[in-house]
Amino acid sequence: MEKVKTYIDFVIAGILFITQGLLYFAIRPESLTVYIVVFSISFIVVVRLILIGLTQINEAKKSAPDLKIQQRSNLDLVAKSKAITEDNQQKLAKFSSVFLQMKNLVSSVQKEQILEIYMSLLKKNLDCGKATFFEYHQEDETLKSSYSTDMRVNDTKVLSFHLGDENFIAYCGKKKQTIERDQIKQNMDLVHFDVEKPLPMYMCSPIVYNTELIGVINISQMKSGGFSSQDKQFFATLCTILALTLRNAKNLSLVHSDLQSSRKSLEQKSLLNEKIKHLFGKFTSPKVVKSLVDSGANVELGGEEKELTVLFADIRSFTNYCEKREPQEVVDILNEYLTAMSKVIIKYDGTLDKYIGDEIMAFWGAPLSQADHAKLATQACFEMLQELKKLHVKWEKSGKEVFEIGLGLNTGPMIVGNIGSTIRMDFTVIGDAVNLGSRVQGLTRKFNSDMLITEDTYNKVKDIVKARKIGALQVKGKEESVMIYAIDWVDLKPLTKS
């Protein structure tokens, strides 16, 4: 506002001076009075302007020191801002380093590596020169030193304390409380403890996950002046992270152990499956082998007593048959016969035991348990006779002489398993019931029947056969004789699972 007034004054003065000049030249000396009046007014305005100017110069001189003070204040503010920025950058660099170490800590899975990073954080950020970690072993409730930066504790000198021992480390683990050296004299439960034994103690803190004790960390040497409140907060945070990381590492270790165990179990199962396939692949049906593989744990590779049904099939007068033919012809026809009969046995899920010359031995009910083993064996025997008739037609067409066979079945308790010597072992059956099956087969010619079964077998298959009672067989070692049945017909429809 003052500037506007000054501007107006200058304009008025200018106008008055111009008016004064015009009057001087226009009205001449006769108008001297008017001229003097105008000149006086102009003079007053000019004087007033000079006074205003002097006042403003004086005020400007007075305000100059305040401006210098403001400038110095601004410089101080800039310097302080620069110092704060540098300090923040240093803190940021420190926090970045700590964050990186913590990231490495939480991502580690090896206990040694975890503790090494943790001790490094203590040393670099809290200036703790000596610290020891005691791992808690729940099975015997002991704390054992497992990692230390203190030369007094090493691998050859493991310190171990029970939770009931009278020292600050055991007390810290038992109570799950942090202990500080300065607080011991204020606590009646701790005042009798020696802060220098078993190790110097400045701060001792439990490492706890939820409520589970993981271990105890003891600081034996710390920076002068002790921990500040910020240091204590940082230390508490590190202890929490250590507990979480160690627990995570333990869980991963358990998972790894389970995976290793599972892998070992799978390898063992695979080996067992290969052994099963090797043992039985050529002697029983693929269905039985698959069932054995799927339930390999139920396979008994040793000897056990089970109720089974055994089959013996023998060519009648095979010695005379061989004497009339060349060896190669005998081998060819025998191979063709054995192949056809073996296929039928395997079709009915039987286990082909062995070839004894021209005789076939097989059994049902092992290695895979079969509730209808007697019926399966009986059906297999009857189909073997039908298959032989097909071979007769083929051989007769090619001019070959045919032969007959006799089959005997018996059901009873037998010893089944790997039987033999360290040089050779076979999965086979032995026992009186096996011998009886062989004797029954030997009676087929005497009773002029192709297929004979014992009464024990008949009782299990009478609903699917037409049979004739032949007579009683006296068995050595038994008082009662064994009834024998001749089979005329067998129902070959697939058995329904009970």
- Closest C-alpha to 162, from 186, 143, 135: 143
Write out the two tokens for 453.
Answer: 């079964």
Three-class DSSP category at 136: strand
Q: What are the beta bridge partners of residue 426?
A: 419
Closest CA to 132 of 98, 108, 160, 107: 160
> What's this model's pTM, rounded to 2 decimal places?
0.49
Q: What is the pLDDT of residue 29?
A: 47
Q: Divide the 498 residues of the chain into consecutive groups of 10 and give the mean pLDDT of each group.
A: 54 55 50 55 59 61 57 58 50 47 61 81 80 90 88 79 89 89 80 84 89 89 78 84 82 73 66 58 56 55 84 91 86 92 92 89 89 96 96 93 95 87 75 93 92 97 95 75 94 83
Who contacts 467 (Cβ-Cβ below 8 Å, separation ≥6)? 453, 458, 485, 486, 487, 488
pLDDT attached to residue 95: 44
How is 329-393 classified by DSSP, letter by letter? HHHHHHHHHHHHHHHHHHHTT-EEEEEETTEEEEEESSSS--TTHHHHHHHHHHHHHHHHHHHHH
Between CA 162 and CA 184 the distance in angstroms is: 21
The reported pLDDT for the residue numbered 91 is: 42
- Cα–Cα separations (whole angstroms), residue 364 to 288, 311, 408: 11, 9, 14
Amino acid 434: pLDDT: 94
**Residue type present at position 304:** E
